[in-house]
Every structure is written in C-alpha cells, then in structure tokens.
Amino acid sequence: MSSPEILSPISTRHVADATLHTSTVLSKDSPASSQHSDRIKYSEIQSFLKLQPKKYVIIENAGKHTSHCWETFGFPALVHKDADPERIDGFVSSAQLKESEITHVKHLEAEWICQSIRPFSIVEDAGLRKLMQECISIGALHGDVKVDEVLRGADSIAAYISKLADQHRALITEELKEPVENDAIAFCPDMWTDPIRQISYLGITTTFINNQYEYRSYDLCCAPFEEENKSAENIITALQKELKTFSIIDLSMLKFVSDRG
C-alpha cells in the first residue's frame, strides 16, 4: 500500500505518554511483544513508517468490513526477516487517496461555494480545515459516522458559544482584579456607527501587564449604544453598564485612553 496519510489510534488507551525506544520496538522474541502497542505513540509509528520503510510497512485490511470506509485503511506492521510482518495492534493507517476521490471532494466544494454563494477563500479557512480534520479522525476511529451525529445545528452552537462567553468573562473578571486594584491597567473605549443599519456601537478594550509580567489585551465588549445621544454623561452610563459585567463599578479609579472620536 502507499505511504500513510493518516495514522490514528483505534482506542485512546493506545496513546500513552511513555517514550518508544528503537531497541525495544516489538521484538518478536520478547514475550511482552503483544503489549508494546500500548506504549507506542501514533506520531512515533508515523515517523517510523516514513523514515524506515523497509522495517515498517502498511499491510492490507483483508478482514470482513463492517463499513465500506475500511477498504481504504490498512494496518501498520513491523517487518521480520523470516516471518510475515507483525501488525501493530490498536492503530490504522489510510492509504493514499485515489484521484477520483480527490476530484469528487473538489466537485462538492465547488457545488457548496456556488449554491450557497460562499467566497472561494472559505476552503482555506483554518477553522474549517481543523473541523474537517477532526471529523476525519473521528471517522477513522469509529467507522462510517453520519455527519448529523457529529455536527450540531445553529441553535445548539449559538447556545454553546453563549456558555463559553460566560465562562471566559468569569475568568477575565478574576484576572482584572489585581491590575485594577493596583492602578496598573488601561481601558480603551471606541464608538462607531453602522451606516447601513444606523446602529451605534460601543467597544471596550483593556490592556495591562499581569503579576507574572505577561502582556494581556482583551476586547471586553462590542455592544449597541442605546443611550439617547453621545453626551459625556450617556457615555459614562454605557461604560458603567458594560464594565459592571466584569465587577468593575467605580470608574473614577480607572485610566481611559481614546482617540479624538
């Protein structure tokens, strides 16, 4: 089979933290050889397959398949001089993709971009590729999985993001206490108006050096400015409302930096 493109542990118990040494790799004469796979990292097997192709190979998956996707997978194995290659239990490796498979994926990408009116650059988005890679890894681990079993809908993701935001606000609130108490922090408010929707917004960024001498910068909010006008009193009211979320009440203790806007 071709050189491996993906190498994944079938079960997470096979990914241990112990270091694999060449002198102890799956010795055929060792009674503990069947247990070696429990100590092997998949990244190490992948490295052996690339750097020692005469000693490590991919053997075909000749067994009965519960799903057609297993036809593209084989098993990493150790080559012995006078015996058949010994499979390294607990891991699978994909063969190189066929040109027809690559073309089909390309067609699906083009169909998605055209039908949903997406920019061409979306296929290069790092987050999308990270998500797709994780889905591929899950498929390698569990077989032919339906996409609806993995991906969640818009409402579910929106609720999860809201939950994550609350968690991060709590962490930032705790981190702000020390610099606020020691007058070692600056807040940078900014205001602008969406010319299309005619909605004004207030954004607040904070920067400081923490007690570990590490630079920190956080965008605390980007909220609609709902006051009647942009008078000094109304801006202070809006700042108090947003900073209260981070347990900051007394604005007279803070340093503010802003542009001429």
Query: Which residue stretches of the chain have pLDDT < 50?
Result: 1-3, 5-6, 11-38
Is the separation of the CB atoms in 92 and 75 below 8 Å?
yes
pLDDT at position 67 is 65
pLDDT at position 26 is 38
pLDDT at position 14 is 36
Above pLDDT 90, what percent of the chain? 49
Domain spans, the chain: 7-94, 99-149, 156-256
- 200's CB contacts (< 8 A; 6+ apart) are 191, 192, 193, 194, 224, 225, 230
The amino acid occupying position 261 is G
The CB-based long-range contact list for 131-137 (8 Å cut-off, 24+ gap) reads 136/6, 137/6, 137/8
Task: Please tell me whether residue 42 adopts helix, strand or coil conformation.
Answer: helix
pLDDT at position 94 is 67
pLDDT at position 37 is 45
